[in-house]
Structure 1
Amino acid sequence: MPKLDMSEIRSLVQSRQPGRPLEAPFYLSREILELDLEVIFGRHWIFVGVEPDVPEPGDYASVQIGRNPVVIVRDDDMQVRAFHNVCRHRGARLVTEPQGTVGKLVCPYHQWTYELDGSLIHAEHMAPDFDMSCHGLKKVHVRSLAGLLFVCLADEPPADFDEMARALEPYVAPHGIADARVAARVDLVEEGNWKLTMENNRECYHCATNHPELTISLFEYGYGFAPESGDESRCEAMAQYARTEAEFETAWEAHGLAWQERDELHGRPTAFRAQRLPLDRAGESQTLDGRAACRKLMGSLKRAKLGGLSVWTQPNSWVHLMSDHVVTFSVLPLSPERTLLRTTWLVHQDAVEGVDYDPDNLTEVWRRTNEQDGALVGLAHSGVQSKAYEPGPYSPYTEGLVEKFVAWYIERLGAHLDASGR
């Protein structure tokens, strides 16, 4: 891919055609990836994990956002804090494992030692006038949304996080994420640009032919359907779905659950969407038989048959919340052609593996679905490298959320370029 200068990137941003995918350089260019890391991942709220990643004081979790290593830690007062995972002496990483437990944060290089609140408490052989209070760890903004953890690397993060939290907490809070526990986690590296991973997630146009396990519990009519293309039997199936949806809505209302679609996926820095939908078969969970995979229900929920809640946040996450478990997904770019997808399964904190749930049954649908999606992302990335590639039209029925993701992305790049004069 030829090197792009900023004027060429600005021209690509300005010439993007609504209703179509991005031009190839957005997926292939290292210069655009660097801009993504600076503007998208460096200035917005990024989903990185869940409070159960750090359940007790001294527990930490590390994450890499571009060139920036971050450590998230639970302090002695049970507060979740985040810091740049960089010693204030000569820059060595403080923790190198993805997760662990520490009493203090100790640099392995020269043993500078920090409290869990980031303050420096030990630094041998320094000058008499050395002021430890000026050399604490550099903080990273961190917020919890009903147990979902977001960080922002910017000095001044977008101010609209609270608006998102107020909108989404009524949906998410009943599932009790903050008090759950991690049952499984899988990191998958996809051979494609991070935007292709996100675009693939934002539609289910491909689901019927590529995700046999996932579509066991999903209704086609919940994720996109062109009514005029259906024959009589499909039209009747759509009508049956409408009746099923009404039954679920009655149950959601009876249990005090927020369920109406709330869509603010573009037009704002911290963009999001939430919607509760019926599930097929037993209607309880995204499993191979549609039944709950865990006997202990999440949070304050008292009924298994409650369908599924889906939550999307820009730029890098989606979450599926059911009565018995929650699955979170975090997307982080590694290079123009490689992307990390981190998937975490959560169950009730008192659920016992092998007694209340079988981990294979719990994780099978999304393990297989992620592998299938990874292969599709690889195919898409391979294709956009061809000189024959040109952006085709989105389906108005099944790719509306893809358009909203791409529109948000272009909005954010454009706003930055305009503000910076670059």
Structure 2
Amino acid sequence: MSVTLPTDLPALLNDCSTGFALPRPFYTRADIYEHDIAAYWNQSWIWVGHVCQIPDAGDYFLFDYAQESLIITRDRTGNVRAYLNICRHRGSRVCTEAAGNTRLFVCPYHAWSYDLNGQLRGGRDMGPDFDPSAYGLFEAHLRVFDGLIFVCPGETAPEIDPGLDRLRPLTAPFGLENLRIAHSASYPVPANWKLAVENYMECYHCAPSHKEYSRSHSLKDPASMTDELLGAMRDRARAAGLPDEILSLPETGDTGMNFYYRRYPLYPGYETGSHAGAPLAPLLGTLGGYDGGATDLQIGILNNFLIYSDHVVGYRFIPRGLQETDIQVVWYVRGDAEAGRDYDRDALTWLWHVTSLDDERIIRINQQGVNAHRFVPGPLSQMEWGVQSFYDNYLSTIGRSVS
């Protein structure tokens, strides 16, 4: 896959300093944005959804970012597949509906049709020398981890399996494969996608910017995570059937990929991420009780999850344009939970709805300041180590296109 380089990209990479924010062009230039999509997003693993969205053969949904579109489907043998939503004839989108069930994928332009396994079934009037087997849909790399679907659209993909193997025993008690979507929401923000990712990667801003979150989550102040608070959570975690590890998994493989798992305590009186601390939904997986903790789970920089004892919140930051990004939030509950009986949707979504509204505001005004010509990258705080981790991954990935 060819990638067109901005002519001064090597010089821009040299201008980046460890421990400092990125220079202004990385957030303001259209050619850098286009390169981001080709060299970073298309070469990364992207969380696109959950198997609960495609329970039956022929079920499918689309996942779109920037100018790209992916078809996620379940074939007739029950396997989950992912294809680029590009007709092999003249490039039309094959699927135009966001989700559905189908026997064949049929291009709306010239009616080329594809099986659920991606093979071309028929192209009309193509002549006797035409070989349909050479024109199947482009298939993307795919992994299903505990029901979560990850796709890499590029020709080669970062190594992911060793990291997933190390995460499995940590996530197993939550039963992530047995989830259903309780709600999903999108919060458009007029900012470059990197500013949205950076905001999620640090809690330096949490105390001043997220008052509701800060009442319950000790992550907003590392000094508040006392040995007493941590020890109490770990005791409850063991009793509930959770591992008590707090781990950062290192980069895996030559191409580099970040994995992160950390369970940290909520403040006393909070069993989950609710308004007053009370439970919100049935316990996940095999948990035997509430430990008063929350897990930050990261599977690649782009894919972030917050796991409470009774629900999961997934976060992603989808580029739509140079300074257009959708903050997408998905709330999951146990697969057999029913709205109105087992959980109240408004109560379940309250915390991360108000927090996402906060994020839209602070990311928007961050972009406004970065747009100013006098912007000069400033130093990162000790609490912004996650931002530096993102920079390291991002700069390494796009730097490979230069070498």
The TM-score by the shorter chain falls in which range? over 0.9
Does 1:292 pair with 2:282?
Answer: no
Is the 8 Å Cα contact of residues 240 and 290 (structure 2) preserved in structure 1?
Answer: no
CA gap 1:76/1:27 in 2 versus in 1, 3 angstroms? same
Question: Percent identity at matched positions?
Answer: 32
Residue in 2 aligned with 1:311? 297
- Please show how residues 320-399 of structure 1 align to structure 2 within 5 Å: 320-396=306-382, 398-399=383-384
CA distance in 2, matches of 1:125, 1:16: 55
Q: What residue identity is the alignment partner of 1:195?
A: K
Does 1:257 pair with 2:242?
Answer: yes
Equivalent of 2:264 in 273, 277, 283: 277
CA distance in 2, matches of 1:214, 1:56: 38
Is the 8 Å Cα contact of residues 270 and 314 (structure 1) preserved in structure 2?
Answer: yes
TM-score (norm 2): 0.92
Superposition deviation, residue 82 in structure 1: 0.1
Residue in 2 aligned with 1:405? 390
Moved more, 260-269 or 404-413: 260-269
Does 1:136 pair with 2:136?
Answer: yes
- Please show how residues 36-185 of structure 1 align to structure 2 within 5 Å: 36-158=36-158, 160-185=159-184
Secondary structure of the 1:166 match is: helix
Superposition deviation, residue 129 in structure 1: 4.1
TM-score (norm 1): 0.88
Q: Extract unaligned runs of 5+ from structure 1.
A: 228-237
Secondary structure of the 1:379 match is: helix
CA distance in 2, matches of 1:87, 1:411: 32
Secondary structure of the 1:73 match is: strand
Is the 8 Å Cα contact of residues 52 and 177 (structure 1) preserved in structure 2?
Answer: no
CA gap 1:202/1:224 in 2 versus in 1, 3 angstroms? farther
CA distance in 2, matches of 1:104, 1:208: 51
Is the 8 Å Cα contact of residues 216 and 289 (structure 1) preserved in structure 2?
Answer: no
Does 1:243 pair with 2:228?
Answer: yes
Moved more, 33-42 or 297-306: 297-306
Q: What residue identity is the alignment partner of 2:63?
A: V
CA gap 1:32/1:125 in 2 versus in 1, 3 angstroms? same
Superposition deviation, residue 179 in structure 1: 2.0
CA distance in 1, matches of 2:244, 2:94: 43
CA distance in 1, matches of 2:80, 2:317: 21
Is the 8 Å Cα contact of residues 279 and 310 (structure 2) preserved in structure 1?
Answer: yes
May I ask how many residue pairs the two structures share in their alignment? Answer: 398
Is the 8 Å Cα contact of residues 51 and 149 (structure 1) preserved in structure 2?
Answer: yes
Does 1:28 pair with 2:28?
Answer: yes
CA distance in 2, matches of 1:5, 1:44: 18
Is the 8 Å Cα contact of residues 60 and 74 (structure 2) preserved in structure 1?
Answer: yes
Moved more, 45-54 or 375-384: 45-54
Residue in 1 aligned with 2:199? 200
CA gap 1:126/1:304 in 2 versus in 1, 3 angstroms? same
Q: What CA deviation, in whole Å up to 9, does each residue of 1:311-333 have, x standing for no partner?
A: 12333121011111111112221
Superposition deviation, residue 306 in structure 1: 4.6
Secondary structure of the 2:401 match is: helix
CA gap 1:44/1:115 in 2 versus in 1, 3 angstroms? same
CA gap 1:164/1:70 in 2 versus in 1, 3 angstroms? same
CA gap 1:33/1:24 in 2 versus in 1, 3 angstroms? same
Is the 8 Å Cα contact of residues 301 and 323 (structure 1) preserved in structure 2?
Answer: yes
Secondary structure of the 2:398 match is: helix
Superposition deviation, residue 255 in structure 1: 4.1
Secondary structure of the 1:177 match is: coil
Secondary structure of the 2:346 match is: helix
CA distance in 1, matches of 2:110, 2:177: 35
CA distance in 2, matches of 1:187, 1:101: 24
Q: What residue identity is the alignment partner of 2:267?
A: D
CA distance in 1, matches of 2:178, 2:75: 17
